Amino acid sequence: MGRFPKIVLLSLAGALLSGAVPAAAGSDRWPVGRERGVYTARLRDSEAVLWRVEWETAVTEGPEGRLLEIRESGAGKPWEYDQPVTWKKKMRFALNPAPVFLGLESTRRTGAGAIYNQQQVRVDPERRKMLSELRGEGEGPPIRKWLRWTEEVIPKEFMFHWTRSFDFSRREAADAMLLVSPTRLVRMEAEREGIEEVEVPAGRFLCHRLELEPELGLLKLTPAMLLVPEMTLWCTVEPPHFWVRYTGPVGGRGSPEAVIELVSFERGVAG
């Protein structure tokens, strides 16, 4: 049980949610075009920055429908790493109309530019499976594992963007299957706890406050059971319901509490 807080490493980029069930996320949530933003993570009781991430989304219309691609580049020292790293990630989704995960590519490098690790996830919708591969530094074989895939699956890197897929007019808790490591899927539940005004470097926003809890089978694991601080996310009340702030642990048991905040957000960015 001690490993479950790692669900919310949020070394991300990525990930989270509402007190509502997934809804048809239409063009007001994911309009055709580009957006970009920046967020930073810092220790909760300090101004020390753990990492900084720049991300960009692109929604295109093609013969097979609307597609979403998210690119992310970051730099810093996530809690579970033994040295500062930089990373680049790319995630692909079909908008059907809510995002359906299709694949992920990720490369992390050391400060000297050497590859620290690489991850790739390839989805086979027809077989309802996905192949996850993780390759570390050196010449050894990658860690490979086939995992069950459904439309509920999202990578942890997508959790912040995921807030756009929810119908906030309903009160039911929302959940999804998170790909939290190359070999592990865990269900996460989120409940809406009210509306609050939140100020971050990107501005002041009226937000839904969302409390996050992992699940193990029929057992919902509360923060008290996991002996970790509460995990809370805020996203805007107004569409497209983009995320604004996260507070909570950034690793396994004993990891520090962090505050991850939106620094800037732009819509209608030229390609």
Coil, helix or strand for 6? Answer: helix
What's the pLDDT band for 73 if we cut at 50, 70, 90?
very high
How many other C-beta atoms lie within 10 A of the C-beta of residue 267? 13
**Apex 103 CA angle, 101 and 104, nearest 5:** 115
Q: For residue 78, give Cα distances in angstroms to 42, 72, 87, 170.
A: 10, 15, 11, 35
- CA dihedral sign of residues 9, 13, 14, 20: positive
What phi and psi values does residue 63 have, to the nearest 5 degrees?
Answer: -60, -25
List CB contacts of 242: < 8 A, sequence separation 6 or more: 37, 161, 163, 164, 235, 236, 262, 265
The rounded distance, in Å, linking the Cα atoms of 121 and 132 is 4
- Both tokens of 216, joined, read 């193990």
What's this model's pTM, rounded to 2 decimal places? 0.82
- Decide which of 19 and 82 is more confident: 82
What's the pLDDT band for 103 if we cut at 50, 70, 90?
very high
pLDDT tens across 183-242, in order?
888 888 888 889 999 999 999 999 999 998 877 554 454 444 444 458 899 999 999 999
What phi and psi values does residue 213 have, to the nearest 5 degrees?
Answer: -145, 130
pLDDT tens across 23-37, in order?
445 567 898 999 999
- Both tokens of 84, joined, read 């500062």
